[in-house]
Amino acid sequence: MTCSSNKVGYNSKEEAEEALVKARARYRHGPVSFYLCQFCGMYHLTSKGTSDVFLNSEEAEQRIKKEQEASYWEARLKNGF
């Protein structure tokens, strides 16, 4: 199902949470939370409002750091040392 917002939709809270972590790791800013859309029934990321409680947790910080490290090494291996 597509949404009139044209935003990427996630089927579950867990998928949206993972997308939030990956976006924060990749861009170091951007989305701060996610919400359940009343129109399409899917979760979307948002840059508006306050940070999601999960995003401020130790678990999220560790996952973001792991994603950043994985991206770093992926780029190094792709481009050669």
pLDDT digits (tens, 9 = 90+) for 12-60: 999 999 999 999 888 878 899 999 999 999 999 999 988 888 888 999 8
In a domain, 42, yes or no: yes
Q: What are the φ and ψ backbone dihedral angles of 5, each rounded to 5 degrees?
A: -80, -15
In a domain, 6, yes or no: no
In a domain, 2, yes or no: no
Q: What is the pLDDT of residue 81?
A: 64
Q: Using alpha carbons, list the distances in angstroms from residue 44 to 25, 34, 39, 68.
A: 17, 5, 11, 22
Q: What is the pLDDT of residue 45?
A: 95
In a domain, 74, yes or no: yes
The residue segments making up the domain with residue 40 are 13-79
Domains in the chain, number: 1
Return the DSSP state at 42.
-
* Selection from 7, 13, 4, 20 nearest residue 61 by Cα: 20
pTM of the predicted structure, to 2 decimals: 0.78
Cβ distance 33 to 46 under 8 Å? yes
In a domain, 35, yes or no: yes
